[in-house]
Amino acid sequence: MEKKTPTYITETRKPVTTPTKTLEKKIGQTPLQAIREFFPNTIKASYAGRLDPMATGKLLILLGEETKKKERYLELDKEYIVEILLDIETDTGDILGIPKEALQQTKLSNNIIQKALYDEIGTHTREYPHFSSKPVNGKPLFVYALEGTINTIEIPTHEETIYHIEFMDTRFVSSEYLADHIQEKLSHVPRSTLPKKALGADFRQDEIREEWNTLLSTNHRGFQIIKIRVVAGSGSYMRTLAMRLGETFGTNALALSIHRSKLGKYKTFFTIPIWTKLY
């Protein structure tokens, strides 16, 4: 008798007909939560190219037997729209971290911003973020960071490539606006009682909310936000890009928002940018 290949089916008993699907991940979601919002447990599914919980945008999902071919999707290029908040940093590089304010009020001209962005283009060796899932001795870096033992290990490095970076606009906001904006974003972080979340106290979200509230409610001032578009190779971290730009500007900085707008292969043909294999 001929051996049949198993078919993964939906709850309506329809077979999987496409090997990939692109979802729009919402703020606060983990990639797995995004998958389960759209696909039931009866479908075998995984993601290629994760997004941080506070990031939004395109998440590539592999379905059925395509999950066994994940390696072919891991080198895709990405486009991001990033908002960078100046004069505040966190230990994570985004708003889901413990904030610390710089003792200055930065106001940058467009020319200074554009020069700093241009200097980021190219391939560079970068350290992995302390709050990342990169394993060292079988343990993710973020666990060392939460334990307070990050200084006991050597942080691994990797190559990051930025193909194109574009200054979009800049604006100034009040601390009152920023407080409401950040608290609204943090309200989307889901609660969990899973034992594996115990070390980070469920993303440390209660402590983080309290620290943001204390910082912004007691300090009435303005903050500059820079909006940029970035085309980068696989494995490039927008959180650390924001932090590096802060150092270049002589202040602190973090990624206020990160939105992944494109996935595919990016090339230039006679200086003309071309996206191929868009998902």
Q: Among positive and negative, which fits the CA dihedral 216, 219, 221, 223? A: negative
Q: Where does residue 215 fall: left (phi above 0), alpha (psi -120 to 50 degrees), or beta otherwise?
A: alpha
Query: CB–CB of 196/159 below 8 Å?
Result: no
Q: What is the pTM of this model?
A: 0.89
Residue from 52, 77, 87, 91 carrying the catalytic annotation: 52
Tens of pLDDT, residues 138-147: 999 999 999 9
Q: What confidence score (pLDDT) does residue 13 get?
A: 34
pLDDT in tens for each of the 279 residues of the chain? Answer: 444 443 333 333 345 457 899 999 999 998 988 998 888 787 899 999 889 999 999 999 999 999 999 988 989 999 999 999 999 999 999 999 999 999 899 999 999 999 999 999 999 999 999 999 999 999 999 999 999 999 999 999 999 999 999 999 999 999 999 999 999 999 998 877 666 666 666 789 999 999 999 999 988 899 999 999 999 999 999 999 999 999 999 999 999 999 999 999 999 888 899 998 899
Q: What confidence score (pLDDT) does residue 7 get?
A: 36
Q: What confidence score (pLDDT) does residue 198 get?
A: 61
Structure tokens at 256: 């206020």
Q: Provide CATH 3.30.2350.10 ranges for the chain.
A: 77-276
Q: Which CATH class is domain 77-276?
A: alpha beta
User: How far, in whole angstroms, is CA 196 from its chain's centroid?
Assistant: 21
Q: What confidence score (pLDDT) does residue 197 get?
A: 61
User: How far, in whole angstroms, is CA 79 from its chain's centroid?
Assistant: 12
Residues 6+ apart with CB under 8 A from 86: 102, 106, 108, 223, 224, 225, 226, 246, 249, 251, 252, 253
Beta-strand ranges (E) seen in the chain are 20-25, 45-48, 56-63, 77-86, 88-90, 99-101, 122-127, 135-136, 139-140, 157-174, 222-232, 253-269, 272-276
Q: What confidence score (pLDDT) does residue 3 get?
A: 42
Active site includes 119? no
Which amino acid, one-letter code, is at 191?
R
Nearest to 86 by CA among 221, 222, 251, 216: 251
Q: Determine the length of the chain.
A: 279
